[in-house]
Amino acid sequence: MKKLRVAVIGARGRMGAEAVRAVAEAEDMELVAAIGRGDALTELVDAGAEVAVELTHPDAVMGNLEFCARHGIHGVVGTTGWTSERLDELNGWLADSPGTGVLIAPNFGIGAVLTMRFAQQAARFFESVEIVELHHPDKADAPSGTAVRTAQLIAGARREAGLAAQPDATSASLAGARGADVEGVPVHAVRLRGLVAHQEVLFGDEGEIFTLRHDSMNRGSFMPGVLLGVRRVGGVPGLTFGLEHFMELDG
Ligand SMILES: NC(=O)C1=CN([C@@H]2O[C@H](COP(=O)(O)OP(=O)(O)OC[C@H]3O[C@@H](n4cnc5c(N)ncnc54)[C@H](O)[C@@H]3O)[C@@H](O)[C@H]2O)C=CC1
Ligand SMILES: O=C(O)C1=N[C@H](C(=O)O)C[C@H](O)C1
């Protein structure tokens, strides 16, 4: 069997180290490069990498993906910090490299993907919604990419259903008390030693509360999603945003 030649960028980080292990153990993959900070990206080309798993930092991801796109290396990206401007830039590189695929997954956890889908479905049935994301205190960004994506999906579903902005008569006496406003959805970020990655989406209406909660108890929880992305990305040229597009959610 021909094995997929896979590299990991950010290989010495928390997620990268886990991805190195998962790729090395996958029977249909060969780990051909493990790139850390300071290592030359040309190693990817020298090693003949077909797919690069990118797990670094919002400050580093764009340079790494530009290199991959220019060299026709498919990308599976977990790094956060995506804005529409960044996505436009990435789409530009991919337009110049037809045949190259990039998957950006705000969250590789299967349960997290389902949480986002269920939140999107529930959004139009409730007057109020708030998101609480809870992570380890070494996380570089806040709010999490998952929380931002969840809020965007909820806001889109509310708009589509013609719902008005949710009522909030509170005048915050302390800045930040109501969290960050992501397209009208309040998002609260908790950073606490002992946590890994967790999220609650709270919906409320008269007399009832509906809560969706997902917990990643360790980083192994993200690896089936990473491997799914690696296996599928080469067959889907261009940019794919969200692992749900590689899962048969409606089947
Ligand atoms: N999509 C998902 O399911 C998940 C995404 N993440 C995201 O993945 C990213 C990494 O998270 P962690 O592993 O916890 O961070 P980390 O800080 O433990 O690891 C990042 C690694 O990248 C390295 N690095 C930085 N710049 C680099 C460069 N230019 N080239 C090569 N290596 C470079 C750092 O030295 C470090 O070893 C974050 O953006 C995080 O939010 C984390 C967990 C799950
Ligand atoms: O940094 C993390 O740990 C995580 N980052 C991603 C995010 O920002 O959503 C995914 C998961 O929450 C873990």
Is the torsion defined by CA of 226, 227, 228, 232 positive or negative? Answer: positive
pLDDT score, position 250 = 79
Tell me the mean pLDDT in the region 125-142. 98
Sequence-distant (6+) residues with CB within 8 A of 97 are 69, 70, 72
Q: Which ligand is nearest to the CA of 52?
A: 1
Ligand 2 nearest-atom number relative to CA 144: 8
pLDDT band at 179 (very low <50, low <70, confident <90, very high): very high
Sequence-distant (6+) residues with CB within 8 A of 85 are none
Torsion of CA 35, 39, 42, 43, to 10 degrees: -50
Residue 1 pLDDT exceeds 90? no
Q: Which ligand is nearest to the CA of 79?
A: 1
Buried b or exposed e, range 8-46, using 16+ CB within 10 angstroms: bbbbebebbbbbbebbeebeebbbbbbbeeeeebeebbe
Per-residue pLDDT reduced to its tens digit, 25-60: 999 999 999 999 999 999 999 999 999 999 999 999
Q: Does any ligand 1 atom lie closer than 6 A to the CB of residue 17?
A: no
pLDDT score, position 172 = 76
Q: Which of 130, 111, 79 is nearest to 244 (CA)?
A: 111
Task: Name the residue type at position 237.
Answer: P
Sequence-distant (6+) residues with CB within 8 A of 20 are 8, 11, 31, 34
Q: In the chain, pLDDT over 90 holds for what percent of residues?
A: 95
Per-residue pLDDT reduced to its tens digit, 222-238: 999 999 999 999 999 99
Question: What is the 8-class DSSP label of residue 113?
Answer: H
User: What is the pLDDT of the chain when averaged over all its residues?
Assistant: 97
Ligand 2 nearest-atom number relative to CA 136: 3
Instruction: List the residue whose alpha carbon is closest to atom 12 of ligand 2.
Output: 197
Cα separation, 44 vs 35, in Å, equals 8
pLDDT score, position 169 = 75
Tell me the mean pLDDT in the region 161-178. 89
Q: Does any ligand 2 atom lie closer than 6 A to the CB of residue 146?
A: yes
Strand-pairing partners, residue 7, are 33, 52
Q: Is 135 a catalytic residue?
A: yes
Cα separation, 51 vs 74, in Å, equals 5
Residue 71 counted as an annotated binding residue = no
- C-alpha distances (whole Å) from 200 to each of 49, 129, 139, 223 are 38, 10, 18, 22
Residue 11 pLDDT exceeds 80? yes
Q: Which of 40, 98, 47 is nearest to 69 (CA)?
A: 98
Residue 171 pLDDT exceeds 80? no
Tell me the mean pLDDT in the region 90-96. 98
Q: Is 3 a catalytic residue?
A: no
pLDDT score, position 35 = 98
Residue 98 counted as an annotated binding residue = no
Tell me the mean pLDDT in the region 159-172. 89
Task: Name the residue type at position 247.
Answer: M
